[in-house]
Structure 1
Amino acid sequence: MNPRTIARLKQHELIENRQLKTGKHIDDIPNRAVKHSDSTNEFRILNNYFFRNRNIYISKHSRFAEYPEHTHQFLEMNYMLSGECDQIVNGKQVHLRKGDLLLIDVGCSHSISRLDEDDILINLLFRDQSININFLSGMRKSNSLVYNFLLNRVSGGGKLTPKYLIFRSEHSEDIKMTMEQIIEEYYEKREFSDTILQAYLSILLVKLVRNYHVSAPEGSNAKQKLIINILKDISKNYRDISLTNLATKYKYNKNYLSNVIKKETGDSFKDLLTKQRLIQAHILITSTTLPIEEIVEKIGMKNKTHFYKKYKEFYQRMPGDDRK
């Protein structure tokens, strides 16, 4: 990142100087932008304050005092540009290190502990209220057998999604790169900056979907862990994987393994394999100009008529419709 931008963010702002002197939180948002709860000390920050003349709002979180519990009417991203911080998010302790990104859903409560001199936390907010963790989850769910299975296990049926997500820097270098491009573009205020920020935001959202994972729930049994590994194998080797291959790899009887897959996922091995092939076909159809006949061959399906039938069942439209 441009050293000039970093130096600017490290400078003390007026509120930071006051908080450094008193050690107490100073409100930087007017009362008209806040709706207080009648039953708790929590408050909700309203949309209109941030988005009067812009679609994206970025700010540096003020250092040297704790920030009280609050919620937003919009999706919020907290990016740890330098240093580290602790937060309580949805009642749980969260620790962020340099390069980590915390995605907080609409209505999710959080508070932030005191930040010190070298702790630079960047807040990114944007206007589109249709973008939330459910939206990202839906995109991810349609492109990952593993994610779909894990979400069902975590939520007890797949109807619930997490209220926040953490993207760790060591696993999401591409997210880190785009986030820092956004920050620099926002603060440098160069020509066409608004247009570039909108493009970067679109890229960032897609990268968040690509890196959106749900961990296996604590206490997962041996069969669930086996299924997670099998689903990863199917996702990676969908073209030519077979139940016989998997039975040999994991040293199980083929029929027994087939029953375990059906019991744990609700689908047969054959159905899971077909779903993964259709997902891959959809990606190729929407992102390349390859002929559909060639795509059918690439994903490992032999019968073109069978492919069209299954694609229509899975996506509720024909392959050609996704290229219009």
Structure 2
Amino acid sequence: MDPRVLARLRQYELIEIEQKKTNHHVDDLPNNAVNKQEKQGQILNDYFFRNRDVYISKHSRFADYPEHSHQFLEMNYMLSGTCNQVVDGQPVHMNQGDLLLIDVGCPHSIKRLGENDILINLLFRDKNISINFLNDMSRTKSVLYEFLINRAAGENNSIKYLLFGKNVDNDINKTMEDIITEYYSKREFSNAIIKSYLSILLAKLVRHYHVSPTSKDPQQQIIIKILKDISEDFKTLNLTKLAKKYGYNKNYLSNFIKKETGDTFSSLIMKQRLINAHTLITSTTMPISDIIDSIGMKNRTDFYKKYRDYYHNNPGSERQ
């Protein structure tokens, strides 16, 4: 990392000087940057993104930071030292090089940082970016992958944060530090370069985040097998065929899938088709009409509507 940028980050900010004297948090946020709600503490809004797509700041040292949440997605990067947080009610410890991805609306608080603890906050402007956006970038994503991601946080819960350790891959750290250097160097075209770096960073995070099924619950093992069938045979699979394979009554199986995944069988099939279409649209030059045929759909209008509903974008716009 650029030593000049690192030296700058180690310097005391005015708020840090005050917090070091008192050991108490000093709130320097303007009123129009915060929406206050009693149960969730401070909720930070889009104030930070005036004339920029990404906002980066150093977290102030020497005092605890109270619980808060955001209307945007946040990354915390431990540039040096360590820190302790409470994220969505769970204790999280970060070492140098660790990266914490926190979803929209997830409450977290940060314990006091010491002299050598440099924590960088990276905020996304687009409120539609969420953990699901990260999942969608995976070229190997399937309904099984999505299910296991959610199960990693516990039964029927959605995961609100992901912690990436430094030992995952050093090029994640390099990309993150390139973003920080570009941001603080304030050179021409820095906003465009940072956005490009960010896409690379997210792709690398997806590449290195894996969830393995560990439950021995027989029902969960069955649903995992069913979801694998869907991911591999989404073009022709139907509920009758699936019920026969597992020896279930068709109606029972339908209810079982809905109970275990929160989605109907037809919704899971459609989701997998859209995921595969998205992969082909973003990674090949295959005509969209051919992609529609390849995923087992016949109605072009229906495909476009469902694709927009799922990805919040038109298929053609993905290639621009």
Q: Using the TM superposition, give the Cα deviation of residue 2 of structure 1 relative to its aligned residue in structure 2, in angstroms.
A: 1.1
1:1-324 counterparts in 2 under 5 A?
1-37=1-37, 39-40=38-39, 42-48=41-47, 50-140=48-138, 143-144=141-142, 146-151=144-149, 153-154=151-152, 161-214=158-211, 216=213, 219-221=215-217, 259=246, 283=279, 286-288=282-284, 308=294, 310=296
Q: Using the TM superposition, give the Cα deviation of residue 124 of structure 1 relative to its aligned residue in structure 2, in angstroms.
A: 0.5
**Partners of 1:28 and 1:227 in 2: CA distance:** 49
Q: Is the 8 A contact 2:78 2:96 kept in 1?
A: yes
**Partners of 2:155 and 2:132 in 1: CA distance:** 15
**Partners of 1:259 and 1:280 in 2: CA distance:** 25
Q: Using the TM superposition, give the Cα deviation of residue 190 of structure 1 relative to its aligned residue in structure 2, in angstroms.
A: 1.7
SS at the partner of 2:168?
A: coil
SS at the partner of 1:170?
A: helix
**Structure 1 residues 62-106: Cα deviation after superposition (integer angstroms, max 9, x where no partner):** 111110111111111111111111100111101111111111111
1:98/1:228 CA distance change after superposition, 3 Å: farther
Structure 2 residues not aligned, in runs of 5+: 233-244, 248-252, 259-270, 288-292, 305-314
TM-score, normalised by the number of residues in structure 1: 0.69
The alignment-based identity, stated in percent, is: 57
1:131/1:112 CA distance change after superposition, 3 Å: same
**Structure 1 residues 15-52: Cα deviation after superposition (integer angstroms, max 9, x where no partner):** 11111111111112123322323x4471112212x112
**Structure 1 residues 226-276: Cα deviation after superposition (integer angstroms, max 9, x where no partner):** 9979999xx9xx9xxxxxxxxxxxxxxxxxxx749xx8989xxxxxxxx99
Aligned length: 286
**Structure 1 residues 130-169: Cα deviation after superposition (integer angstroms, max 9, x where no partner):** 11123323444972355134146457897x5311111222
**Partners of 1:202 and 1:155 in 2: CA distance:** 25
Q: Is the 8 A contact 1:141 1:148 kept in 2?
A: no
1:155/1:27 CA distance change after superposition, 3 Å: closer
SS at the partner of 1:209?
A: helix
1:141/1:161 CA distance change after superposition, 3 Å: farther
Q: Using the TM superposition, give the Cα deviation of residue 204 of structure 1 relative to its aligned residue in structure 2, in angstroms.
A: 2.3
Rg comparison, structure with higher value:
1
AA matched with 1:11: Q
Q: Could you say what the CA RMSD is over the residues aligned between the two structures, in angstroms?
A: 4.5
Show structure 1 runs of 4+ deviating over 6 A. 155-158, 225-232, 263-266, 275-282, 321-324
The residue number in structure 2 matching 1:246 is: none
AA matched with 1:31: N
SS at the partner of 1:43?
A: strand
1:41/1:204 CA distance change after superposition, 3 Å: closer
1:153/1:125 CA distance change after superposition, 3 Å: closer
**Partners of 2:133 and 2:140 in 1: CA distance:** 11
SS at the partner of 2:176?
A: helix
**Partners of 1:194 and 1:15 in 2: CA distance:** 27
TM-score, normalised by the number of residues in structure 2: 0.69
Structure 1 residues not aligned, in runs of 5+: 239-257, 267-274, 292-306
Q: Is the 8 A contact 2:276 2:295 kept in 1?
A: no
1:161/1:208 CA distance change after superposition, 3 Å: farther
**Partners of 2:40 and 2:129 in 1: CA distance:** 27
1:289/1:53 CA distance change after superposition, 3 Å: closer
**Partners of 1:203 and 1:56 in 2: CA distance:** 14
